[in-house]
Amino acid sequence: MSKEMKVPTVGESISEVTVGQWFKKDGDLVQLDEVLCELESDKATFEFPSEAAGILKIVAQEGDTVEIGGLICTIEEGASQATSAPVAAASSAPAAKASASGEVKEMIVPTVGESITEVTLANWIKKDGDFVTLDEVIAEVDSDKATFELPAEATGILRQVAKEGDVLEIGGLICKIEVTEAAPAKEAPASAPAAASSSAPASENYASGHASPAASKILSEKGIPATAVAGSGKDGRITKEDAMGAQKTAPVATPAAAPAAKMEEKAQAAPVAGSRNTRREKMTSLRKTVSRRLVAVKNETAMLTTFNEVNMKPIMDLRSKFKDQFKEKHGVGLGFMSFFTKAVCVALKEWPAVNAQIDGTEIVYNDFCDISVAVSAPKGLVVPVIRNAEALSFDQIEKEIVRLAGKARDNKLSIEEMTGGTFTLTNGGIFGSMMSTPIINAPQSAILGMHNIVERPMAVNGEVKILPMMYLALSYDHRIIDGRESVSFLVRVKQLLEDPTRLMFGV
């Protein structure tokens, strides 16, 4: 007898659901109340348990949208469990050899931050069935803020449950480890051909030839396979620097393979003019969160932008005069960001509303300046925070910016380094932007946008001079910051930047 399983009613206002992740495969033997898959509505994610014991036949695939009452799968209740016994016994034989204790360690998604409720499984470093040791990195997990390495919680045989690209809630099952003390011995007939055909050195391990998330993205954009790149990282791992320096080389074709190589080359040639090819990619967790937060800011704040311009010549002259001595003494270059950071810290002290935020029906004023700096990372925009910037010197600010930017490019920023922040700086000028209206980084109340420096004719004391000018844009929440405060804040920043000696003396 076949049992039809349909989408249950999950809420009064919910008319359809999306099939998220199947935990069981088509044809698997399932038990009563065993979780088969996840169903996602526009409000929550639900587990879908089996209503009978038998053989599973999947009807709706992952990603399908099914109406309430729609058929998801069927279960053949009459199927004998005995028929599956030989298969189960055969598949469990290697595990029985490897796991004498019979203990199975279930690994779940750990808590990685207070505000993070789900993660995406980026890639498996170890394969299903591999022998892993305690604390060995087996996978990489992406949250909406950072990338984390997932170490093994036991020594034994890895059994993957989640697939690459799956979105898992905190506490969700990622994999299982069949606990054993030593790696299972391989049989001679199976291992002999592999040993004869393998040319890899004995020192290679799971990291050899594996690309980090940043390196993987760069190689994908270049169209270079990871196998064609030599890794210089730990245990032969391919780093971002390896990927950036990799060049696509033409394969050496044998005479016999020449016709096939030519055909492949034609297939990979540039598309014909007028072609209308498209491709689809799933949004990353980071991109989803950025999208959701930016739309929320536009809808939930009374955002307004005010503009001004600043003559950058005094700062440029000061940098030219002292940049060599500065780098020799402090070991870091003197950039524009330290001047802007110091200037906004002084202005924030004088106009505290710009450094405040709304919490319900209250306004929270901060007597410190945690400056968020927008950085373009491989997986999207991240905003690490310079803590207590008002108390830091120019060289300390520059060193902190270099440190945070480097970790952002390598996807190594921690949750703590990206949470908090009372005011944000964003520099679109490095990409050539002349003017923009930056969006507030909630729950902050203001953000200062920097732009490119352009030489323009300016009237100075009745004379026309060519000066390096930059437009500044301050976007602010009008619910908490009035026009007088926003304009006065920006004018104060302009004053400090056009006479940077004021920053030295605090006037």
Question: What residues are labeled active site?
Answer: 478, 482
CA distance 231 to 233: 6
- Cα Dmax for the chain: 98
Tell me the two tokens of residue 202: 């004995």
For residue 315, give the DSSP letter: H
CA distance 498 to 469: 10
Q: What angle do CA 393, 395, 401 make, to 5 degrees?
A: 105
> What is the enclosing helix (H) or strand (E) of 18?
strand 16-22
Give the other-Cβ count within 10 Å of 98's Cβ: 19
What residue type is 175 in one-letter code?
Answer: C
Tell the residue number behind the tokens 């020799």, with chain if given.
Answer: 328
Tell me the two tokens of residue 290: 């950025």
Tell me the backbone φ, ψ of residue 498, rounded to 5 degrees.
-80, -15
For residue 162, give the DSSP letter: S
Q: Is 397 helix (H, G, I), strand (E, B) or coil?
A: helix
CA distance 340 to 372: 12
Strands of 156-160's sheet, edge to edge? Answer: 104-108, 173-179, 156-160, 131-132
CA distance 141 to 436: 34
CA distance 197 to 371: 56
CA distance 305 to 298: 13
**Pure H helices in 351-500:** 394-409, 415-418, 483-498
**Does residue 385 contact residue 370 with C-beta atoms inside 8 Å?**
yes
Q: Provide the pairing of β-strand 29-30 with 45-49.
A: unpaired
Closest CA to 343 of 405, 400, 389: 389
Tell me the two tokens of residue 395: 């060289």
CA distance 188 to 437: 67
Closest CA to 330 of 392, 372, 287, 241: 392
CA distance 375 to 344: 18
Give the other-Cβ count within 10 Å of 283's Cβ: 12
Give residues with Cβ within 8 angstroms of 290, minimum separation 6: 144, 380, 381
Q: Provide the pairing of β-strand 357-359 with 362-364.
A: antiparallel
